[in-house]
Structure formats: C-alpha cells, structure tokens
Structure 1
Amino acid sequence: MKRSIFLFIIVCAFFAKTSVFAQIQKHAHWTYTFSKNDVKQGETVDLIFTAILDKDWYLYSSDFDPELGPMLTSFAFTPDKSFSLVGKLKPQHPKTKYEEVWGGNVKFFDDKAVFKQTIKVLTDKPVIKGSSEYQTCSHTSGLCVPGNDDFEFKGLKVVASAGTAPALESTTPSETKSVGANAVSPTDTTMQETANIALSAGDSAGAMSENEAPKIDLSSSEDPAAGAPAADKSLWAFALAAFLSGLVALLTPCVFPIIPMTVSYFTNQTNGKVKALLYGISIVLIYTLIGTVVSRLNGPAFANFLSTHWIPNVLFFGIFFVFGLSFLGLFEIVLPSAFVNKMDAKADQGGYAGIFFMAFTLVLVSFSCTGPIVGSLLVASAGGAVVKPIIGMAAFSSAFAIPFTLFALFPQWLKSLPKSGGWLNTVKVVLGFLELALALKFLSIADQVYHWRLLDREVYLAFWIVIFSMLGFYLLGKISTPHDSPVERVSVPRILLSIITFTFVIYMLPGMWGAPLKALAGYLPPQSTIDFDLSKKGVGVAPAASSGVTKKYADLFHLPHELDGFFDIKEAQAYAKKVNKPVFIDFTGHGCVNCREMEARVWSDPEVLKRLQNDFVIAALYVDDKTELPESEWYTSKYDNKVKKTIGGQNADFQIVKYNNNAQPHYCIVDQEGNLLVAPKNYDLNPASFAAYLDKGKAAFAAK
C-alpha cells in the first residue's frame, strides 16, 4: 500500500508523547455469536466473528496471498472433542485494492469486519475457544498494530438427536483434511489438550515453515456461492482474464484448422441455427465440466499442495516445458488417433447427439494447444472454491465457442477467412517461447519452498532475458524453426512486436544487478535471493562496517541498505556496551507496509543512513515472525500470561512490557540498559525530521 506522504505537524508531535506512545493500542473490538441458538447433535452452525473498527482504521482480511506481506486475520481453535471444524474461514465481503508496496491485491475491512466459520456440533456442551491474530492499520497516521485476542463462544443450546455420531468419535477423512506432515485432526485423541489448530484462511496458503506450529486446512462443504460474493471484483477480473485467454486460444494452430470442418458439418444441416447454438453450448458445457470436477476435488489442503509442494510444481514445469518444445517444432503432441476417430465417428451420426460429439471432437483435437491455457486457469483458481473454477472455465469456453458458433450459423464466412499457412506456425513458435518462460515460474516456486537455490533471481532473469531476446530475433526473421516458411520481408506487425519484446528485455537487464522490477514482482524470485545486488549500496555513503560479531537469526533476517545490526535485543545491548553507543530499536514486521516504506524513503536518505551506520547499534526486532524457538527459550509473559514460543511473540511481548506500545513501525533510542533516551518515534516520511530525531537521541546519550 503506497499512501500519500504523511507529515507530523506540531500538534501531533505534542500529543504523541502523552497518548500514542504511552498506551497499548487496540482498534478492533470483537464479539462472538452463533448463526442460530439451537442445534441438534451432528448438525452444523456458523460461528460469527465480528470486529468493530475504530474510525480511520482498517483490518486485513484472511483471503489473499499470505506471501504478499501483511498479516492475515486467522483464528486458532483449542481442540476439543465436542466439535469439529467444517470448511474454511469465510470473510464476509471484504474490500479489495492493489498495494504497490506489496505488488499485489490485498483485502481489508473498514468500520466493521465479519468472519464465519462452520462447525459440526458433536456433544451437548461444546467447548469452543481459542485465539485470534490480526493486523489493524490507520488510514491517517500510517501506524500498524498487530492484535492477539482470546475468544470463546458460549450460550449454544444443543439437543440430542437420534443417529448422532458418538461424542468421542473422530471426524472422518471427508470432514477434515490436513496440510503439512505434522498437521492433525481436531479430534485426535493423541493431541495434547493445549495444542492449537491454526485455521488457515487464505485462498492460496503459503508453505508451512518447519519451525511453525502445526496448521490445518479443512476441505470445504459450503454452499458454492459462499466463497465468491457477487460484488467480488477479483472474481470479475478472473472471469475477464479467462475470457481473454479463450480468445488467445483461438489463435493457436490446433484450433484454426477445425473451422473448415465445423463449417462443412453445418452447411447441409436441417434446423441449422438451432444445432449451431447447441454446438456452442456443448463446447461451453464440456470445458466447464472440467472446472466443476476440479472444484469438487479441490480444497484448501489440495490448494496448498498444488501451490507449494515440489511434485505438482515440477510436474507443471515439465508439462509447460514439453509443450514449449512442441510449439517450437521439436515434435508434435497428438491424442491417440483411435480415441479421436471414435469421437469423430459419433459426430458423423448426425442428429442432436452428433452435435455434442462434434463439440467433444473439437475439445479433444484442440486440447494440444488449449491444454496449457486451461491448466493455467485451473492453477490460478485453486484454493478450494467451487465457483471460481466453474466461472473461469465458462468464461474461457464462451470466448472459445463464440466464433465456432458464428461460423456454424453463417458458414459462408469461411470464404473471407485467411488460409492456413506460415503465419500459423509463427503464432505457434511465439507461444512456444512464452511456454518456456512461464514454465520457469513453477520450478521457481518449488525452488523457493525447498531452498534448492537452483533459480535465484539473477539466474531466473538470465533465462528470461535469453528467451525473450531469441523471441525478438525470431520476429525479425533472424532465427527460424523447422516448420517456418521463408521470411522474405518483415511485416510491420512483426516489427512492432519485436520492438515491444526488446524493450521488455532492456527493462529486465538492470534486474541482474538488483533493480526491483516492480512490474514483474509476481513472477520473479525474491530480491533477497540475488547474489550481487547493487541496490543494497547506500546512496552517497560507504557501506556500514561490520561489527565482526556472529549474530543470532542472521540467516532469517536482513537489514536494508547493507546496514549492520542485530536481531536479538540482548546481543545488541551487549555490543553497545562494548562500543559505547546508544541502541536504535526498530520494532518491525514482515507484514508492515509502512516499515518497508520508511526503509525505502527515509532510511535511504544519505543523512539518515550516515547516522544509522555510525552513531547507533541497530536492533531490528520482528514482532510477527513465526519461527518457533527451542523449548528451553520459552517463557510465560507477565502481560497476558501466555507462553511465548516464537521470535515474533517474544519481540512483541518485549515491546508491550518494556515500552507500553504495540504499533509498528516503532523506533526507540535507548541506552545500554534499555531505558528510553528520547520519546519514541513512529511513521514519519520526513527525512530531515527523522535525522533530527536521531541527533536528539545521540545527544541525550552523550549527556548521561
């Protein structure tokens, strides 16, 4: 999220000392109710989580890509044999917007947030409780505040019902599906009573860290419309993308030759117009059936497997790679002729049954070219939703079916169609280059999740630069493939396409040395995987001198602009005593938009960067990191009496207990014992103001 520049005016600065920094902030106020008050054993009921938000504050939803950065809302249930979870968490009509900082769409709530979770009641006195994690941010001040609340649902009246499953009986595999080797069912009798089952709420769950607590995703049995509100703009965007993909599929060489066959079939048909419409409808139904079957098999568990496991991603890479080689002319991919001929024979029988088999023949013959596009749509729609794959396939097939239906209605149009020839092979080869480029995305996902380090950012970019350069030379006729016709002169459309291609190549080149390439953020590996990143160098200042100390968690976290620092407060304080400098504490988070904005726009200022490098010992404390610490390092918080097991949990607890604040970004300049030297500072995009704050802290330390 890129907000306008917010300046702290004098009045805000005055009140900051007495209000913002002197209290624990909470801007979401939760209530917990049931969708109905009376149920029978074995029936389902919706748990309704409602948050009333303070004015000008918003709360992130639970159903967007967790890899983008912001903290998604989630609810962890304490396991109990009196109930089981059914389906996934359902946020109720969140808003969607594109945030440039994260390079993707996020979903959020203003004023009021509502989430629903379906459960199956197994006994007459269900014990339904747990804890929630969420993040609220201010539209005006730029502050972000993580939240962690306990919840409990009470007051449900349960009536015994004949035929109800025994109270202690575990849920069946059809009722729950788990993600991760350590995930377990809510009713597993071997589970410790204090364990938490974290309900993943995203449509595309990220990979589970080996150090994270076990999490479970559950297959959905909800109403098909529940997961896709009519007003959801992302669903309309997906449908439009699918429709456009169907139009692109019409240009593939497997499809074009079928048009004359279609026209010849319908030329002498009686009731031609009716049969032509039936033909188009049949194409849509066949393709949509594929989406329906996949959607019924899908679930969040399958989506996590499909999105992050190496097996499906390497498989998709292989499929795209093979199709790419085929399109370039290395070999031809065809379905078994006996099967295709059998379908074609059915079509020759005529009548309305023949119309359907004619459409089925079209789908089969064209699948060699449309298969990768259909597969991409199904991958994009993965996530357990029922509606999205169906809409995607319906939109794709509608675009695909419209021209065939029109040619069936008006067979005389065939005379005006350009003849099949060399231009079709050109389209095929261009698609082949694109297939090879897109194949790398799937391999990259597996590479990042399993830390193979085969496709670091610069290696990935090198492949793309070479692939698109060769595409540009092909368009100019400098490269030819086995089935190309001789290029005597380059047409204007090919020249324009080559200009676009080479412009794209030049745009990618600086990325080899660390340029962010924001337009490709969703396709490239993370910036942190690049080995030689010139963007890490400070602007106008020398790189920070290393402290020469081995630091805890240095393999997990990194400071921007090649700053040297620590990620553990005790280590930072010990080193500060050694070098006699104050400590600059940066309370930050992976999901903190404004933290990244401060680092990019304020910390990068030469005057600020110089002070951070030379005058302070930096301690960057991530409050939302889920890395679980060894059990010997756990402790029970004096603030909320909860056991703090993770790096983020302990850092957040330290911020609350020591400095009475839980917002990020939050900057504290302290002495070597952790005592504040000056009032803390939060989000402030004025570099001069931030430099003055650092100077004030340095002077206060020198005066002690």
Structure 2
Amino acid sequence: MKKVLFFLLSFLAFANVNAQIVNPVKWSSKVEKISDTEFNLVMEGKIEDNWHVYSQFTPEGGPLAAEFKFKDAKGNYELVGKVKESPYKKQYNDVFEVDEYYFEKKVTFIQKVKILNPNLTTIKATIDYQVCKEVCINQDNAFTFSLPKTVTANPEAVVVGVDTTQVDTTQVAKAEVKSTTTVEVAQPKEADDKGLWTIFIFALLGGFAATFTPCVYPMIPMTVSFFLKQSDNKSKGRFNAIFYGACIVLICFAITIPFHIFEGISRDIFSEISTNVYLNIFFFLIFVIFAISFFGAFEITMPSSLSNKVDKASDKGGLIGIFFMALTLIIVSFSCIGPALGFVFGTSLNSDGGALILSIAMLGFGFGLALPFMFFALTPSLLGNMPKSGGWLNTVKVVFGFIELALAFKFLSNADIGMDLHLLHREVFIAIWIAVFGALALYLFGKMTLPHDSPLSHLSVGRMLLGVTSLAFTVYLIPGLWGAPLKLISAFPPPMTYSESPQGFGSKTTVESNTKLPDGAELTVHNLVSFTDYQTGVAYAKKVNKPIMIDFTGKQCVNCRLMENNVWSDEKVLEILKNDLVLISLYGDDKKELPQAEQYVTKEGKEITTVGKKWSEFQITRFNNNSRPLYVLLDLNEKELNTPVAYTPNIDEYLAWLKDGVSKFK
C-alpha cells in the first residue's frame, strides 16, 4: 500500500514540477454585530480541491499552524477569548509523528472583539497559514473589517465580501448589510466507510474481550439457560435471549444520544474536547483509577439503590422485563466493563470524529458484549464446552488493567504537549511504557501476584504465550530511548521533536573533529553542511568555485522531510550534495523576527517581519514560485543552470537533475 501511495505522490509531484504562483485559498470577511460594543470578525476561506489548510491547534512538531495578528488593538478594542474555528479533520502524519489538524473545502475563523474607542471604523488583521497538497505553500492574507457607523436596536451583521488577495477601499465601501447574526460554518467531512468499519470492529473486539471478566463471563451460561428453561418452547427462548443481547446493544448506543444533542448545540465541541488540556488530564486520572480498580485495590460499582430498582423492574416479564434484565447486567457488572466503556468513550471523544464516531464505537462495543449471549442462545448445545470460571478470569482483568494504565499516559502526553511543559518527553513516555509492559510480563510469568489472584502452580500455555509477547514488546520499546522510531506505536508517544535528544541519544551531530564548518554554515540532515543565509552561501560558493543549490524548505514541511529521508539519503545523491554543491537551505516558515532595519513592506503591502517571510518573498519574486520544497541550481552569476524541481520522490529522476546541473556548471 505504501508503494502505491509513493508512486501516486511521485506522479502528482511530477505533474506539478513547473507549477508557478498558486493561490488555493480565496478569502472573504464579514462583521457580525452582537451588541452595541461587541462584534464577531468572521474570516471565511474557500479551499480548492485536494488542498488543505492547517488549524491553529496543530500540535508542535507538525505542519505550520495558522496564526492571527490583530493590529492597533490598544485603546481601540480588545479581543474576547481566542479565535474560534470550524471543525477540522484529524490525521496522523508518520513523517512528523504527530496528528495533523486541517480543513478541506472551506474554513471559518471567528474572533469576538469589544470596542473601546467609539470612533473606531475599521479593524485590520492578518492570518499566516500553510496550505498543502503534494507541495506546501506559506501564505498570509490581510483583512479589513468595516465596523457599522450607526447603532440600531436590532442586531445586524455587516458582511464584507472581500477577497483579501485584492483588498482595497472600494470593496470595503461596497459592503452589503444583511439582517442576520448567524455564521455558516463549514461542515466536517464525514469519515469514510472503511474508517467507520475499522472503528466498529476494534470496539467490537473490546466489547467481546470485556465478556472474559469475572463479572460477565459466569452470567453467559446462567442467562442463556434461564431464557431456554423459562420459555414455553425453545424458539421463544432463543428469541428472548437474542432480544436480551439486542437490548444490550441498544443501551450502549443510547448512552451516546446526549452527545449528538451537544454537537447540535456546538459543532466544535469534539474539537474542543480533544484539544482541551484539562479534559485530557481528567481522562488520564479516570484511566489510572480504572486501572487500579482492575488490579484489585477496590471496585467501582453503581449505587446499590439503582441496581435494586432496575432489578425489580426486570420482574415485570415480557420484552420490557428483558430490557431491564439487560440494563441490570450492565449496572451490576460495571466494575468490570466500566473501564472498557471508559476507554471507548475516552478515545472516541479524543478523536475529533464527532458524535457519529462515538455512536459507531459504542454500537461495536455493545454488539461485542452481547455476541456470546446471542451465539449460545442459537447453539445451546455448546454451552457445556465453555471453559469453567476460575482464577484465569482475574488474570484477564489484571492484564486489562496494565493496558489501561499504559494508555492513560497518552492523555497525559496530550496535555503536556498542549501546555508546552516539556515534562513528559518522548524518552520519559517510552520509559513508562517499558516499566508497565515489563511489569505485565513479570506478572504473567508468576513473579508478581495481586490481591485477588489464585495460587499459581504452573503456567498455562495461553498465559506463557501472552507473557512472551509482553516481554518481546518490552524489549522492542527499549531502543526507543536512544531514538529508534518505534513505528508499531508511532501514534502514541510524543514526536521525536518533543524529546530530550531530538537526534537520538549519542547521535553524532558534528562533522569530523578535524573539520571546521565555514562561517555562517551549520550541520543539517545526513551531516550535510548548509547555509541558512543566501548571500553568505553565494559568497562561499564563489570562494570554492562550486555551483549553488537553493533548498526552499520548511521546518514543518512534510514533503521536505520525505525528500531528505528517502531521496537525499541515497548514496549517489548524497555524494553529489556533499562534494559537488554548496547547499543553501532557506526556511520559509522560520518565525524568528528580523532585525528592525531589515523589516520592510512589499509593493503589495505585505509586511516582511520574519526570516521565513523574507525567504518566501525571495522565492516568489526571484523564481515566480511559492511551493515547498523547491530546488534550484545556480551558477556563480546566480543564473539558473536548469529548470528548478519541486517534490521529486523518484531517486533516478532527482539524481539525473543534479548531474545535469553540475555538468552544465563544469
């Protein structure tokens, strides 16, 4: 599958090699009146097909997050809260090893402001953002919001339909006034069928696993036998047992209904949940409490008064009685299935998938929990073949406790990254997992016992195999402390950039001790010597009489990293880059402020205030291109040796391009 995707990306990149200036996002803005002194500043972007814009909440270490600047606020107005945005999509990026938050088709940003200066007529703002397809572009757009000059009793919204690529005062003057206080927010794209099925199946397996706990497993033969013996005939008994299972599924689904209501009130509630630091800490604490409960320290039970009332309702008989029997099972066995329910809820709410994802997950969980009851109702003759209850059930429960404890730290990691505390670095996270799964291996091998364990005279085959698996997984994790990628669990630990040793513990980050770096140069990927200032690099190239290769790149550029990892790492390519060229890497997303003397405003009114904006503007004005990555070969007169190339994942094609440029220089 990866090879197919690699080929597809190669084809798309080749088709866009000679792409010129592109502007995939068309912006408009409007002002919504809330009260006499409060307004919503609304920025809406229409995104071309196959392009996507990253959210302002994109995690550190990933693609460039959207940033907003509101000018001349002091004494004129104040910002009320942070910029709100329409629901985004979430997808794991295995290059950056973080989740990407992005928008497709359309995006809406809203900033609430309170006016302090009654004579204020306009508010100016800018957005810096990254828009990507097979290449990434850094763009910034300016907005001019025209405030209403008169105040009326009725709320009204002043809509300014401004494409900020061509903002002028005539467009603002033509602002259309509409009687509305609502904002049309982009609808999130629904998850595809394959993704929903995957969620359903994993939740189903979780529900099925929950049946192998001391609270549920003994109930299976008892419940099925009860229905078969209490009914007039076997067909009716089987129907009642199957209906009992269906009620379990229905109850699990019904738990999610309030979340659909919440989502109707606030469409971005799931986005807020998944990125909220305090909710992530709350989920961490809940998971730890559930894990300790599974270890046998205490039991989490529902109030006895509730279970007694529901149990009495089940005596009514008929289908209603069966429904309350199913509800009784869930309440009474909560100490065993509660942690599993918490895991499904926690991961679903943290997925930004909306109430639909939660409902699909709970349907799967309910079906997995009900499946044994339904199966043995249809095949009662197999009841006698079920393994007898015993101490092994508590072992299963303890294993779930260890897994629950390990997963808890994913939520704590989210909170730590969100607050940028750098307390739970990647190495610390992996060390915790090594300790948890190492302890699990010791437990399974009988070297540790917990309060409710039965005496262990020997290891069963299943327990031994599970112990070996846990031990092997623990050993697999250990190299992660020294920078190994750990692709099997790449979705769980913090990214490599969020670590004590981003290059890997003990990695060589300097050239040979007897080699001195040129002034203004630094060591980059694959120990390549690179200049980050254009003029400094050109001067050095003239000194050593070598052609120049400009690498228009970005710190958060996915395809730049793919090129470096998959193409530049090739032995023949790397040899040319090291020996035959002077490499100049210009980062278009560098947020470092330029010295005041170097800041300027372009003819189009764009403010160049950072290093990244400087090199982005240089790329546009000099090479009429704003895509990244972009590779340009120049001679010592700073003229192009051949046609620049963008993302080129085919090694042979990229190597041929390098050789062609070097040959023409010679």
TM-score by length of 1: 0.66
Q: How does 1:416-495 map to 2 (within 5 A)?
A: 416-495=385-464
What residue is the counterpart of 1:598 in the other structure? 563
Aligned to 1:394: 363
* Cα 1:513–1:256 shift into 2, 3 Å: same
- Tell me the residue number matched to 1:666: 630
TM-score (norm 2): 0.70
Q: Is the 8 A contact 1:627 1:646 kept in 2?
A: yes
Task: Report the equivalent of 1:321.
Answer: 288
**Offset of residue 656 of structure 1:** 0.6
The Cα shift of 1:407 comes to 4.8
Number of the residue aligned with 1:586:
551
Aligned residue type for 1:228: E
SS in 1 for 2:586: strand
Q: Does 1:621 align with 2:565?
A: no
Alignment correspondent of 2:208: 247
CA distance in 1, matches of 2:526, 2:345: 40
Counterparts of 1:308 and 1:86, CA distance in 2: 13
SS in 1 for 2:550: strand
Contact 1:280 1:402 in 2 (8 A): yes
Query: In the alignment, which residue of structure 2 is the partner of 1:59?
Result: 51
AA matched with 1:246 = G
Taking the aligned partners of 2:249 and 2:480, their CA distance within structure 1 comes to 42
Equivalent of residue 275 in structure 2, options 308, 311, 315: 308
Given residue 290 of structure 1, which amino acid in structure 2 is its aligned partner? I
Paired residue type of 1:637: T
Shift of 1:90: 8.7
- Cα pair 2:641 2:664 within 8 Å, conserved: no
Match of 1:258 in 2: 219
2:443 & 2:660 partners in 1: Cα distance? 59
Q: 1:483 to 1:571 in 2, by over 3 A?
A: farther
Query: In structure 2, do the counterparts of structure 1 residues 695 and 452 end up closer, same or farther at CA, with 3 Å as the change threshold?
Result: farther
Identity of aligned residues (%): 38
Q: Select which of 330, 353, 361 maps to 1:363.
A: 330
Amino acid of the structure 2 residue aligned with 1:428 = K
Q: What is the DSSP-based 3-state SS (H/G/I as helix, E as strand, rest coil) of the residue aligned with 2:412?
A: helix
Contact 2:106–2:186 under 8 Å retained in 1: no
Q: Is the 8 A contact 2:21 2:624 kept in 1?
A: no
CA contact (8 A) 1:243 1:395 kept: yes
Which residue in 2 is equivalent to 1:24?
Answer: 20
Q: Which among 254, 258, 263 is matched to residue 289 of structure 1?
A: 254
Q: Which amino acid aligns with 2:295?
A: L
Match of 1:37 in 2: none
Supply the distance in 2 between the matched residues of 1:242 and 1:7 (Cα, whole angstroms): 33
Structure 2: distance between partners of 1:97 and 1:312: 20
Query: Do 1:307 and 1:313's aligned partners in 2 also have CA atoms closer than 8 Å?
Result: yes
Matches within 5 A, 1:537-576: 537=507, 542=512, 559-561=524-526
Quote how far apart the aligned CAs of 1:133 are. Answer: 6.3
Cα separation, 1, equivalents of 2:9 and 2:335: 58
* 1:633–1:438 CA distance, 2 compared to 1 (3 A): farther
Matched, 1:237 2:198: yes
Partner of 2:156: 168
Q: 1:232 to 1:606 in 2, by over 3 A?
A: same
SS of aligned partner of 2:451: coil
CA distance in 2, matches of 1:423, 1:260: 17
Change (3 A) 1:440 1:470: same
Give 1:354's aligned residue: 321
Cα pair 1:49 1:115 within 8 Å, conserved: yes
Quickly say closer, same or farther: Cα 1:410–1:645, change in 2 above 3 A. Answer: farther
Tell me which protein shows more helix as a share of its residues: 2
Q: In structure 1, what is the Cα distance between the partners aligned to 2:491 and 2:517?
A: 35
Q: Secondary structure at the match of 1:348?
A: helix
Q: Is the 8 A contact 2:208 2:371 kept in 1?
A: no
Match of 1:516 among 470, 481, 485: 485
Tell me the secondary structure at the aligned position of residue 381 of structure 1.
helix
Deviation at 1:421, TM superposition (A): 0.8
The amino acid that maps onto 2:348 is: S
Query: After superposition, where does 1:218-229 map in structure 2 within 5 Å?
Result: 227-228=189-190
CA separation in 2, counterparts of 1:66 and 1:593? 14
Secondary structure class of the residue paired with 1:436: helix
Match of 2:471 in 1: 502
Q: In structure 1, what is the Cα distance between the partners aligned to 2:184 and 2:224?
A: 44
Deviations 1:29-64 (A, max 9, x none): 9899xxxxxxxxxxxxxx995746xxxxx5358799
1:656 alignment partner, one of 620, 623, 627: 620
CA displacement at 1:359 relative to structure 2:
1.6
Q: Deviations over 1:59-116 (max 9, x none)?
A: 35879995595679999999xxxxxx9994699xxxx99976466999999xxx8559
Classify the secondary structure of the residue corresponding to 1:386. helix
Number of aligned residue pairs: give it.
586
Partner AA of 2:245 in structure 1: G
Contact persistence 1:227–1:385 (CA under 8 A): no
How far does the alpha carbon of each residue in 1:239-294 deviate from its partner, in whole angstroms, 9 at most, with x for none? 22222222222223332233355346534256544543442232222211222212
Alignment correspondent of 2:172:
none
| SS at 2:190 equivalent | coil
Deviations 1:487-515 (A, max 9, x none): 22222222322332222223222222111
Residue pair 1:666, 1:683 contacting (<8 A) in 2 also:
yes
Paired residues of 2:287 and 2:342 also in contact (CA < 8 A): no
Q: Which of the residues 634, 637, 640 maps onto 2:602?
A: 637
Q: In the alignment, is the contact (CA less than 8 A) between 1:476 and 1:495 conserved in 2?
A: yes
Q: Kindly indicate whether the alpha-carbon contact (under 8 Å) linking 1:537 and 1:562 is maintained by their aligned counterparts in 2.
A: no
Q: Which amino acid aligns with 2:372?
A: P
Which blocks of at least 5 consecutive residues in structure 1 are unaligned?
33-46, 53-57, 79-84, 120-128, 153-163, 172-185, 187-192, 195-217
Aligned counterparts of 2:333 and 2:543: Cα–Cα separation in 1: 71
SS at 1:506 equivalent: helix
Q: CA deviation at 1:590?
A: 5.0
Residue 677 of structure 1 and its aligned partner are, at CA, apart by 6.5
- For residues 449 and 569 of structure 1, do their structure 2 counterparts lie closer, same or farther at Cα, with a shift above 3 Å needed? farther
Q: Could you say which residue in structure 1 is the equivalent of 2:78? A: none
Describe the superposition over 1:146-204 as per-residue Cα deviations: whole angstroms up to 9, x where unpaired: 6778999xxxxxxxxxxx99343799xxxxxxxxxxxxxx9xxxxxx99xxxxxxxxxx
* 1:132–1:150 contact (8 Å) kept in structure 2: no
Give the 3 Å change call, closer, same or farther, for CA 342–546 of structure 1 in structure 2.
farther
Matching of residues 94-243 of structure 1 within 5 Å: 101=95, 115=106, 135=131, 137=133, 166-168=154-156, 227-228=189-190, 231-243=192-204
User: What whole-Å deviation, never above 9, does each CA across 1:207-262 have from its counterpart, x for those lacking one?
Assistant: xxxxxxxxxxx999999xx7536x53222222222222222222233322333553
Contact 2:295 2:401 in 1 (8 A): yes
CA distance in 2, matches of 1:511, 1:456: 12
Contact 1:381 1:389 in 2 (8 A): yes
CA distance in 1, matches of 2:451, 2:88: 52
Quick one: which amino acid aligns to residue 425 of structure 2?
D
Q: 1:414 Cα shift?
A: 4.6
Secondary structure, aligned partner of 1:529: coil
